[in-house]
């Protein structure tokens, strides 16, 4: 592994402290994605425990609605932790996000049931999801900014894959844990207490990540620019860079919906809507996410060779072309679920591998965290957060094709926005100041 200085030059090998920094970045990011993913994975089990189960369909829809509400806190988290990252330091923001996320997981794990405290169970769940929304809204922009600033500029696309690689490991662990618990516990035990186990694990993992991140060092680029950055006001900079903010939203709309549909919600949708055995659906998703993990480094290295924009076009265009055929493959077979998920995640990987680098390369040092965090979080809240609910609601009222058309249109929008951004492969972030 290589190391970089503030000027973006490359040394021969990264010291052990740099490897620890990468591990701390990855573990913290994986933990927050784990927290986020297990909510969708275990929703069918705890919906009837924390909401009135007199109407099971209403309970699951209410649970998914809280999933969407959690996304609404992301823009505030992007603003809060983005400001913290740009004014105080990337490390401080990253440390704070994992601490807040751990508190949210612990709250869900110990929430009394609806039968014990009535509607207050739902309120506790909502409060916990809002905390996690705040944390996740700040985690991605702060961690991807940190990673982009310590990466060698000629390999930044490859290093950027750590964000979704570690995040997918968190998702994968949550899915795998769901499959193991579904096989080892009875349905009654899963509904009674089994669903609490992953949230307890998430809280413990967050505490470990908190300790590791406290020991991290700040990026050299931020430390060099700190005297100037700390005296600049955030809002005027946001206004000056509104074009880049809208570009972040445009690049994200298709990606976020497609990612949550195929990487997060697919096993739950297959089991609740298509009749796939719950355990088999989770195992199929585990296999597909392994394909995704293998694809990420390939796309990252390719972007360092041929540029960010060709990879973004290949990813968005491939997803748009294959979205309907892969949906038509889905039925009660877990094998078909695995194939469809794998194909879609292979192409989704093109964009997810490099967007952390692309976003960071669009903004100067003084606004690099909040400039990405706010528009990205708004986009994810409006489009990604509502995707599971829209998929369920449109499927039951209008038909599955309505949601599929909606997603493909968003993918085409994202592909079109790629034309508006400059090619940033190999950009020197240390020289990118105002």
At 23 the pLDDT is 86
Cross-strand pairs, 3: 11
Lookup: tokens for 199: 């949230």
Specify the DSSP element, H or E, that contains 409. Answer: helix 400-417
Residues whose CB is less than 8 angstroms from the CB of residue 54 and which lie 6 or more positions away in sequence, other chains included: none
At 224 the pLDDT is 82
- Residue whose C-alpha is closest to residue 258's, from 148, 388, 365: 388
Q: Are 82 and 142 in contact (CB under 8 A)?
A: yes
Specify the DSSP element, H or E, that contains 11. Answer: strand 10-11
Number of C-beta neighbours around residue 112 at 10 A: 13
How far, in Å, CA of 240 to CA of 46, rounded?
A: 45
Lookup: tokens for 258: 């497609």
Residues whose CB is less than 8 angstroms from the CB of residue 382 and which lie 6 or more positions away in sequence, other chains included: none
Residues whose CB is less than 8 angstroms from the CB of residue 265 and which lie 6 or more positions away in sequence, other chains included: 40, 387, 388, 391
In total, the chain counts a number of residues equal to 434
Q: What are phi and psi of 4, to 5 degrees?
A: -135, 150
At 433 the pLDDT is 57
Q: Are 122 and 230 in contact (CB under 8 A)?
A: no
At 356 the pLDDT is 92
**Per-residue CA distances from 2 to 9, 11, 16, 358, 425 (Å):** 10, 6, 11, 20, 17
Q: What are phi and psi of 259, to 5 degrees?
A: -65, -45
- Between CA 360 and CA 243, with CA 74 as vertex, the angle to 5 degrees is 45
What are the structural domains, with CATH classification, of the chain? 3-431 (1.20.1250.20)
At 332 the pLDDT is 87
Strands 10-11, 3-4: pairing kind: antiparallel
How far, in Å, CA of 323 to CA of 410, rounded?
A: 12
At 98 the pLDDT is 92
At 409 the pLDDT is 95
pLDDT averaged per 10 residues, the chain (length 434): 40 54 87 82 78 69 73 86 90 93 92 83 86 89 91 92 91 81 84 89 91 88 73 74 92 92 82 82 87 96 96 96 92 92 96 94 88 88 80 78 92 96 88 59
Q: What are phi and psi of 11, to 5 degrees?
A: -100, 180
Lookup: tokens for 127: 């409060």
How far, in Å, CA of 201 to CA of 308, rounded?
A: 36
How far, in Å, CA of 20 to CA of 150, rounded?
A: 13
Burial of residue 420 (number of CB atoms within 10 Å: 0-12, 13-18, 19+) = exposed
Q: Are 27 and 97 in contact (CB under 8 A)?
A: no
At 250 the pLDDT is 95
Residue labelled with tokens 């034309």: 419
How far, in Å, CA of 48 to CA of 168, rounded?
A: 28
Cross-strand pairs, 10: 4
Burial of residue 398 (number of CB atoms within 10 Å: 0-12, 13-18, 19+) = exposed
Specify the DSSP element, H or E, that contains 3. Answer: strand 3-4
At 57 the pLDDT is 67
- Report how many helices (DSSP H) and strands (DSSP E) the chain contains, helices first: 19, 2
How far, in Å, CA of 71 to CA of 264, rounded?
A: 15
């Amino acid at each position: 592994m290589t190391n970089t200085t503030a000027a973006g030059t490359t040394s021969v090998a990264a010291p052990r402290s740099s490897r620890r920094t990468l591990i701390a970045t990855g573990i913290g990011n994986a933990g927050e994605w784990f927290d986020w993913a297990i909510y969708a994975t275990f929703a069918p089990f705890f919906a009837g425990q924390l909401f009135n189960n007199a109407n099971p369909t209403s309970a699951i829809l209410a649970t998914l609605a809280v999933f969407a509400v959690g996304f609404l806190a992301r823009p505030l988290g992007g603003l809060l932790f983005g400001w913290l990252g740009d004014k105080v330091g990337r490390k401080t923001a990253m440390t704070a996000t994992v601490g807040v996320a751990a508190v949210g997981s612990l709250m869900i794990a110990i929430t009394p049931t609806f039968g014990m405290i009535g509607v207050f169970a739902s309120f506790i769940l909502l409060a916990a999801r809002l905390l996690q929304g705040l944390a996740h809204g700040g985690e991605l922009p702060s961690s991807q900014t940190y990673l982009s600033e310590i990466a060698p500029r000629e390999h930044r696309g490859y290093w950027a894959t750590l964000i979704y690689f570690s995040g997918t490991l968190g998702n994968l662990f949550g899915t795998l844990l769901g499959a193991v618990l579904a096989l080892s516990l009875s349905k009654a035990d899963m509904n009674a207490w089994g669903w609490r186990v992953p949230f307890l694990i998430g809280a413990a993992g967050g505490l470990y990540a908190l300790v590791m991140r406290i020991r991290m060092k700040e990026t050299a680029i931020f430390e060099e620019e700190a005297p100037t950055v700390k005296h600049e006001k955030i809002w005027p900079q946001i206004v000056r860079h509104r074009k880049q903010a809208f570009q972040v939203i445009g690049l994200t709309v298709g990606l976020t919906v497609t990612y949550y549909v195929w990487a997060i919600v697919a096993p739950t949708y297959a089991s609740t809507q298509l009749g796939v055995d719950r355990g088999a659906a989770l195992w199929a998703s585990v296999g597909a996410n392994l394909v995704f993990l293998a694809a990420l480094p390939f796309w990252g290295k390719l972007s360092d060779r041929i540029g960010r924009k060709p990879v973004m076009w290949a990813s968005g265009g491939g997803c748009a072309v294959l979205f309907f055929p892969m949906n038509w493959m889905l039925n009660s077979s877990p094998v078909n679920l695995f194939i469809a998920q794998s194909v879609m995640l292979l192409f989704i990987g093109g964009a997810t591998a490099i967007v952390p680098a692309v976003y960071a390369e669009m903004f100067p040092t003084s606004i690099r965290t909040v400039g990405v965090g706010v528009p990205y979080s708004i986009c994810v809240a409006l489009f990604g957060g509502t995707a599971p609910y829209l998929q369920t609601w449109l499927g039951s009222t209008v038909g599955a094709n309505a949601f599929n058309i909606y997603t493909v249109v968003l993918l085409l929008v994202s592909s079109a926005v790629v034309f508006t951004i400059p090619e940033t492969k190999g950009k020197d972030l240390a020289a990118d100041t105002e």
